[in-house]
Chain A
């Protein structure tokens, strides 16, 4: 498989010797074997120079800590090395395509980071007098304006801290609206089988029972099934659009009509808004509430698992129930309404302590302003183009779950093409790691057997897409060869071989949970 570059030099190693000569230290070249901070000699050190207090805390008798805490400290150079070494064991968008379907791993512009760190944003206390934070409140208001305009919705609740928190906010608004209209008996939420796990989890969390809606053969909500399950006990439907199969719900307007006719609300999971931003406004589809993952559509960094931000746009019917606080403009000043008072107060409560993920608001606003209305429309178009390009270029070697018609921003494959190879979706994903790519989303959505959901996003060049496609075609070829007895299945079953670690034993981790370092569980370090 080794190829030559334009000057005739090999571009890949002819053979790998990693396991022929294991190293003596556990390190592998640039990849260091890094101990835990607790396994270093840092018990009496600190990397922060602070003076000792000159006065004893003699006013806190009996409240003072006496037992040791058990925290090591390290000097600054040691800390730098520790975290830089650890960082090198992570895949990242800045390293290569990161095609996790539904997660939208797009480029994170660094201007956004710079702006969020301006002292006038980062060094503001949430409870400073409002006269001293007029610029911050205006930024929230401008971001809200962009979100409302892009979605065609009249209101937005800015405070939810992540997508799932946004779902919670949306359902709480729906619950409050039903209660206000004497419909508090409605306790059912309808979700398609393909829904994100957060949808049924959120519905259950607010005390609703979940009924699944069937899916048609072409990957959409089954309208007849939906109609048969809508009744006066249904509080809401939760539908992702574009859905988790990467398809636009063609009947979405009819879905909304049927839902409203039954007296229920339409919650749209906006995780995939990036596919339609600038081209389709959810408000035109009959949506009542939709969260927007600022860390997906609007590029705020995923940070290894958060923080996210999940503002929720709301229809006129739900707007009065939005949680506190919110920003208003009285013509001259911005004001934060922090507490609902008076007889007309309908806000359902409060999502968290302060005003939402301001650091993420600044980043998302910088992203939106940079793109503008024209750039955002191009974002959706390129995201959809890239996904369809991948689908077109892989369909002869892998099996698309829904071959007919275009997909939106992600291409879904099933595992039928692996039949007879002995290779599973998991094996294939792990082999991708060896080829330098993060695997796609696996085994989700649940409605497709052995699902592989590929979302390239709009921030990939054609060259990187082609590199990814040729890697996947080569791997698929190696899998197909197994059917005729050519090649070794260990390339898949044993993968990854070239990652910082081989496959990890997740069963052991769950059976005997070891959730923290404890001195007695780790053998003492060898003497120098």
Chain B
């Protein structure tokens, strides 16, 4: 087997050195009833060519987003990632290293994390950011749990614009923690409705902008209302490119910002791995989940970086930890950081403006399709349309015509009674030809 360097001779020699005569002697502690002789019922060793062929066969049975006019969003976005990003993250020293527990020989990873934290803090307009979490949805749930620790209150209010999967992920964790979640009714433009739901027991208010219907909102008023009630404002963003165009959550008064960072540096990957961005006010950082990288000096006084404030974490605090998390999304955070370093402020602003412009072109095109009504009043690169018929059927019909025409809202939240709502997104990867093809296909399907 090509990944196993020991030869049969090596094995015999090593068993001799150990002082046993067979490999079975090293497994004596396994109860006899559980020892398995022979192989489990699965195929045997396969060469690289054979495995690659099988996987290519499976891959060929999927429709790659880049091969068709493509308009899906709803929490995952297709952007162009520069070739250098994927090349760099495959360097052995990044790909095959572990968590930087020995900082003297992990400064590469640590400096990247320090730069990543600075980039995320700048983008979100917050004071500090952590070294990343699994994804946006788990970051949202972690933020809600953190609000409980900070405020010692037990109720979270989630706006009706929060991505339903984020709501469900948060509810799952909140249920385990015994926390009450008030998830408001789904609505295209209802962020201000959370204000009325804030009471003296509210630990946090969670608002998404742009929300799951694409609506961009100024949350300043909500921040003021939350602050007046002693609750934290958590702002969620599922499309990180929007930070290049829209006012940052920090500017609008957020206490914690969580975002899905997949859009920058990372492929769609059928849903994972992604990278959760987590930023907050500095005074809250000791209650934050996940890893933090900090600056320090070495014995010769040279600047260096280490993982820090680890007394929050499970490997030190065990059952008193702020979270059970023992990893970040290292390689995805690296991809994010490299792509961000290439873009810079100049590039990110251009990229964001292009996304917005493309989505407006799409809106103009779809407005001309009979039976289609645009629902989202103010959007970044995604908006909702009402079709007057089940969006799931329309999407299937579009797929049959070779167009991946968005995400039916019912797929995210079947019980919401919004079966005729379709979410459509357009990034810089969408061409005028794609938009024309979408319009033509949708016109036929709607007829």
Contacts and interface: CB of A to CB of B under 8 A. Distances in A.
Interface stretch (B190-198, B347-355, B438-446): B347-355
B271 A354 contact: yes
A379 B332 CA distance: 28
A79 B329 contact: no
A292 to B, nearest CB: 15
B218 interface: yes
Nearest to A162: B327
Contacts of A504: 103-104, 296-299, 304-306
A460 B340 CA distance: 37
A34 B110 CA distance: 13
Nearest to A106: B3
Contacts of A87: 88, 91-94, 108
B177 interface: yes
A38 B118 contact: yes
A333 to B, nearest CB: 11
B102 A129 contact: no
A371 B308 contact: no
A384 to B, nearest CB: 5
A486 B276 CA distance: 53
Interface in A259-284: 276, 278-281, 284
Nearest to A495: B104
A72 B97 CA distance: 27
B104 A280 contact: no
| Residue of A127, A129, A386, A439 with most partner-chain B CB within 10 A | A127
Given A306-B327, A355-B272, A91 B296 contact: no
A277 B270 CA distance: 28
Interface stretch (B78-86, B199-207, B365-373): B78-86
Contacts of B387: none
Interface string A147-187: 00110000000000111110110011001000000000000
B363 to A, nearest CB: 9
A146 B26 CA distance: 25
B51 A126 contact: no
Contacts of B327: 162-164, 305-308
B35 to A, nearest CB: 7
A47 B344 contact: yes
A201 to B, nearest CB: 4
Contacts of A123: 64-67, 78, 267-268
Contacts of A192: none
A297 to B, nearest CB: 13
A301 B338 CA distance: 19
B44 A372 contact: yes
B138 A73 contact: no
Given A69-B348, A122-B268, A278-B40, A351 B169 contact: yes
A134 B34 contact: no
B447 interface: no
A284 B34 contact: yes
Contacts of A439: 102
A502 B95 CA distance: 24
A461 interface: yes
The prevalent SS among residues of A at the interface is: loop
A250 B341 CA distance: 53
Interface residues of A, number: 207
Interface in B24-58: 25-31, 33-36, 39-48, 51-52, 54-58
A119 B39 contact: no
Interface stretch (A8-16, A358-366, A412-420): A358-366
B59 A121 contact: yes
Interface stretch (A223-231, A312-320, A472-480, A510-518): A510-518
Contact of A118 (B59, B105, B306, B318): B59
B268 A73 contact: no
A70 interface: yes
Contacts, number: 715
Given A207-B177, A279-B30, A305-B109, A385 B6 contact: yes
Contact of A248 (B30, B115, B306): B30
| Residue of B90, B104, B314 with most partner-chain A CB within 10 A | B104
A391 to B, nearest CB: 8
A247 B304 CA distance: 37
A55 B245 CA distance: 13
Contacts of A461: 5-6, 10
A341 B416 CA distance: 13
A197 B26 contact: no
B155 interface: no
B221 interface: no
A84 B91 contact: yes
B268 A124 contact: yes
B63 interface: yes
Contact of B354 (A50, A122, A131): A50
Contacts of B218: 62-63
B43 A369 contact: yes
Contact of B341 (A79, A494, A503): A79
B273 interface: yes
B65 A162 contact: no
Contacts of A34: 111
Given A134-B61, A172-B176, A352-B169, A88 B93 contact: yes
23 contacts: A50-B347, A52-B350, A63-B216, A80-B84, A90-B93, A161-B138, A163-B327, A164-B327, A202-B324, A205-B324, A280-B36, A302-B98, A349-B171, A352-B135, A353-B163, A353-B165, A372-B46, A373-B40, A391-B18, A458-B6, A504-B296, A504-B304, A516-B128
Given A79-B338, A90-B105, 20 more contacts: A59-B378, A63-B378, A69-B123, A71-B122, A79-B84, A83-B338, A86-B108, A107-B3, A120-B64, A126-B272, A131-B396, A132-B63, A248-B27, A308-B327, A349-B169, A353-B271, A371-B1, A385-B15, A385-B23, A405-B28
